[in-house]
Structure 1
Amino acid sequence: MDRPAQAPTQLPPGFRFHPTDEELVVLYLRRKALARPLPAAVIPVVHDVARLDPWDVTGASEGEGYFFSLRRAPATGRRRRAGSGYWKATGKEKPVFLQCGGEQRQLLVGVKTALAFHRREPPPPSSRTGWVMHEYRLAVPRGVADQRKKNARHLTS
């Protein structure tokens, strides 16, 4: 059974949380991954949110919601099974860049993927719903990615 979301702290009336992709990755996701304090306790932790039907996620009925959840690799292709359907990656992954100083330099800090929810119905094909989840993950530095690939080749040989 999935654990319920941790409730965020009480926020003042009129508080609006509408972060950019860059803010989500740098100020929240990266800090969460490094066990650093967050700027505000407004994003709850949901255990394996991709296994849940979207309407079963706490706060989802209110429209837009943000959650921390560990990412699990899709079992087959680009799909992740959920209660009565599956989440399927749609479109291309989009890079999230950090603007560096006043210069026109950009640093890759994350990747954003859109996932659409499809219901499984007795006879295939499935039907796409209006539910969409945007998944953010930290970018892996080139040297680390190369080492991971090298280690994976040694493990599979």
Structure 2
Amino acid sequence: MAFNPNELPPGCGFHPTELEIITILRNRVLSQQGYPGVLERNLYGPDATPWLILSEEDGTIPWQRVGNAVDIGKKVYVFTVAPRLGNGSQRDRSAGCGSWVPRTGPRNVMDGGGLQVGTRRSLSFQPRTEQYGRDRWVMHEYELDDSQLNPGQTTDLVLCRVAKYPDVEPQIPDLNFAEEDN
């Protein structure tokens, strides 16, 4: 039986630290085996619109299967290949009806001894047109440092933490204090 983070008992959760995420990615790259609770999907490319590529057969996104409510802000973890543009080092982050736009440069992920073991980038999904809604898809993309690979080994495999947040104006009640003073 496979581990499903949505079926954990109350009070338990799958919340790996950045160092644990890099460790999971390193184990996946070196052993070629998946990890329970981490999906394997192609988040980049012409058919990779996030709400379609992350959907299960029943049409839900993994974090939506808790009761009947949509749990906004929950995260899903995904192994994916981040293709490069040509032979260069830049990544092609086009995805279906839009693209993943970097919001920060690479940030170092360090181990307990101060050694860099990977990098993290923050990205958000930007649709090409407004017809695809205003929800905000946010992703942290984790990549191994070359020091974590075997000599001569390279990889384009990354581990991504993806979340969806509504892009809705907060409802602020109309407080009319002038009427209360009368």
TM over 0.5: yes
For residues 73-103 of structure 1, what are the alpha-carbon distances to aligned partners after superposition, in whole Å with 9 as ceiling and x for unaligned? 2579665211111111122210000002xxx
* Structure showing the higher helix proportion among its residues: 1
Once the two structures are aligned, what percentage of the paired residues are identical? 27
- Which of 25, 30, 34 aligns to 2:30? It is 34
* Equivalent position of 1:50 in the other structure: 44
For residues 78-137 of structure 1, what are the alpha-carbon distances to aligned partners after superposition, in whole Å with 9 as ceiling and x for unaligned? 65211111111122210000002xxxxx01000001111111128xxxx98511111001
Paired amino acid for 1:114: S
Kept in 1: contact 2:108–2:119 (CA 8 A): yes
Q: Secondary structure at the match of 1:92?
A: coil
Kept in 1: contact 2:100–2:126 (CA 8 A): yes
* Equivalent position of 1:19 in the other structure: 16
Structure 1: runs of 5 or more not aligned: 1-6, 101-105, 149-157
For residues 21-68 of structure 1, what are the alpha-carbon distances to aligned partners after superposition, in whole Å with 9 as ceiling and x for unaligned? 011102x10100111767x6111211x212322212132655311011
Greater relative CO (CA pairs within 8 A, separation 6+)? 2
Distance 2:8 2:63 in 1: 21
Distance 1:60 1:53 in 2: 17
Q: Secondary structure at the match of 1:113?
A: strand
Paired amino acid for 2:146: V
Kept in 2: contact 1:98–1:108 (CA 8 A): yes
Q: TM-score, normalised by structure 2?
A: 0.58
Distance 2:95 2:33 in 1: 31
Distance 1:131 1:87 in 2: 9
1:129/1:89 Cα in 2 relative to 1: closer, same or farther (>3 Å)?
farther
RMSD: 3.5
The count of aligned residue pairs is 128
Structure 2: runs of 5 or more not aligned: 56-61, 65-70, 154-182
Larger radius of gyration: 2
Q: Secondary structure at the match of 2:140?
A: strand
